[in-house]
Amino acid sequence: MLLYLTKQLCKRSGKKRFFSSVADINPNEANDFFDIPTPTTIPFIGSRLSLWQALSTQRLHEFVDNKHKKLGPIYRDKLGPISGIFVADSEAFKTIFSQEGRYPKHIIPLPWIIFNNEFKYSRGLFFMDGEEWLPCRTKMNKLLLKGDLKWTEACCNIVIENFMNQLQDGEIENLDEKIYSTFLEVIVSVSMGSKSYLKHRKNITPLVQHLAGNVIKVFDKTMKVEKWNVNFAFKWGIPQWKSFEMSMRKSLNFTYSLVDELMKICDDESLLVKMREEGINNDSIKAIVADMVLAAADTTAYTMQWMLYLVAKNKEVQEKIRTELSIPNSSYAKNVLRETLRLYPVAAFITRFMPQDCILSGYKIPKETPISLSIYTTGRQEKYFKDASKFVPERWDREQDHQVTIAASLPFGLGVRSCIGKKLAEYELQKTLTEIVKKFRVELCNKTDIKMRMRMVAVPSERLRFKFEKIC
């Protein structure tokens, strides 16, 4: 898989070797770790205060972006519990993914670690490491990233058709909530299979709506407790911790019971049955699927909103999507999605601990140093994307040479630990976009400038409102 991706990226970046930086730097010439630029702030208070400010205004991406502007593509910082380096350099990204080892490790939010340890919930892929993670991940790759995925597409199509039936002329009330529930319902329908979903959807839809409310709270409460010293918050049981703990328990308990029920009614073409056939035991199935439910909704729902926002502001893009619908194998909708994720990567940071010492951007990095890849920053840099602030889906066109640096926009990550839901997400997002644009002209009703805010994932600074006009 990694070899395939590497070849693809070589082809597109026009370079001979994608991971060129690995061999090109002589370790003796590299600079010392402590020479990496670091912000000058009042010791301790300065960095905590600015972090607190960045977190409470949900502007962590801008905070980090400004630091890169001042200090360059790599800098060292202590961000509360996370003390490590921040990297905004496509060559360094390649080095990281090529040297991340057999069992890549990422940072897990501290409240979630404490919660899992304290209450002994077994969790899915995102939380697993090493020997536990690899066999499960290999089996899940086979089911969700390789081969024929028509069975997942069949599930998406039914749920999206249902969503389309809720749209009409005019401003759609609570569109964001409808989008959220729809994408949550997709992962539920994939878990149970399209036939079973069709049979039981009347009962499933209200459960999904209830779950959506809980899942939203988990992300919100995690953000709120992270503004505090999390160990302190947990130890003293402050209200922010209690509220986070409650939302997490509710969501997980509800999701586990839902998966239990789905296991009884799923059909042969379902994720649950396919996981069983791969030899994954029932407890692990429950934990993996429950986590996917949590990972699937926010990421896809907000990407859908950003995509609608951008096409609503760019009428010519809408028109082109409509025109290209008649062209077989047109990749235009896919390019719209790629361009949306370049400007608004819902996962604005990807993290890693390297298993051995490495050299990044000319500096020696000791093994196990927490590394944060600033995906938001690289996606908007002029040196990687011409007219970087403009929304130009055509720049991703394979036929034309618009000089995109693929490794600077990695919304799903790269390599063996990249997003397991990538193909599912790409299909459902493109399908929903084309169905909407085929039937409606989309207009943005918000009058103020919309900014990106970090609520674990990248969300709009205010509720997006759209007006739909039916195309006769």
Contact residue for ligand HEM among 295, 310, 392, 456 (CB under 6 A): 295
Among 83-91, 254-262, 389-397, 407-415, which window interacts with ligand HEM (CB under 6 A)?
407-415
Task: State the minimum distance, in angstroms, from the CB of residue 373 to ligand HEM.
Answer: 8
193 near ligand HEM, judged by CB under 6 A: no
d(CA 451, CA 462): 8
Nearest Cα neighbor of 409 from 452, 440, 373, 441 is 373
Task: State the minimum distance, in angstroms, from the CB of residue 293 to ligand HEM.
Answer: 8
**Window 339 to 358, contacts with ligand HEM (CB under 6 A):** 346-347, 350
Nearer to ligand HEM, 47 or 434 (CB): 434
d(CA 288, CA 122): 9
Question: Residue with the closest Cβ to ligand HEM?
Answer: 421
Contact residue for ligand HEM among 106, 221, 320, 342 (CB under 6 A): 106
Indicate the burial class of 28 (C-beta count within 10 angstroms; 0-12, 13-18, 19 or more): exposed
436 near ligand HEM, judged by CB under 6 A: no
Sheet holding 466-470, edge to edge: 170-171, 466-470, 440-444
Contact residue for ligand HEM among 292, 310, 333, 359 (CB under 6 A): 292
On whether 10 is known to bind a ligand per the annotation, the reply is no
Residues contacting residue 463 through CB under 8 Å, at least 6 positions apart: 176
Instruction: Give the side-chain half-sphere CA count within 13 A for 365.
Output: 28
Task: State the minimum distance, in angstroms, from the CB of residue 288 to ligand HEM.
Answer: 8
291 near ligand HEM, judged by CB under 6 A: yes
411 near ligand HEM, judged by CB under 6 A: yes
Contact residue for ligand HEM among 180, 344, 412, 466 (CB under 6 A): 412
Among 158-166, 252-260, 292-300, 387-395, which window interacts with ligand HEM (CB under 6 A)?
292-300
Contact residue for ligand HEM among 54, 125, 204, 354 (CB under 6 A): 125
Among 24-32, 41-49, 124-132, 442-450, which window interacts with ligand HEM (CB under 6 A)?
124-132
Q: CA of 5: how far to CAs of 11, 24, 218, 226, 306, in Å?
A: 10, 21, 33, 35, 26
Nearer to ligand HEM, 36 or 410 (CB): 410
Q: Is the dihedral of CA 91, 92, 94, 95 positive or negative?
A: positive
d(CA 31, CA 422): 37
Contact residue for ligand HEM among 159, 421, 436, 456 (CB under 6 A): 421
Site of tokens 């988990």: 218
425 near ligand HEM, judged by CB under 6 A: yes
Nearer to ligand HEM, 73 or 413 (CB): 413
310 near ligand HEM, judged by CB under 6 A: no
255 near ligand HEM, judged by CB under 6 A: no
Give me 323's structure tokens.
């025109």
d(CA 425, CA 249): 26
Task: State the minimum distance, in angstroms, from the CB of residue 44 to ligand HEM.
Answer: 30
Give me 205's structure tokens.
């839809």
Residues contacting residue 30 through CB under 8 Å, at least 6 positions apart: 359, 362, 363, 364
DSSP at 35: G
420 near ligand HEM, judged by CB under 6 A: yes
d(CA 160, CA 167): 11
DSSP H helical segments within 88-174, as ranges?
90-98, 110-119, 130-144, 150-164
**Beta carbons of 167 and 179 less than 8 angstroms apart:** no
378 near ligand HEM, judged by CB under 6 A: no
Nearer to ligand HEM, 187 or 433 (CB): 187
Nearest Cα neighbor of 158 from 129, 136, 188, 130 is 188
270 near ligand HEM, judged by CB under 6 A: no
Nearer to ligand HEM, 196 or 300 (CB): 300
Task: State the minimum distance, in angstroms, from the CB of residue 10 to ligand HEM.
Answer: 20
272 near ligand HEM, judged by CB under 6 A: no
Among 58-66, 119-127, 234-242, 309-317, which window interacts with ligand HEM (CB under 6 A)?
119-127
Residues paired with 363 in a beta bridge: 31, 360
Nearest Cα neighbor of 142 from 292, 275, 295 is 275
Residues forming contacts to ligand HEM in the complex (CB under 6 A) are: 106, 124-126, 137, 187, 291-292, 295-296, 299-300, 303, 346-347, 350, 411-413, 417-421, 424-425
User: Which residues are known binding-site members for heme?
Assistant: 419
User: Which residues are known binding-site members?
Assistant: 419
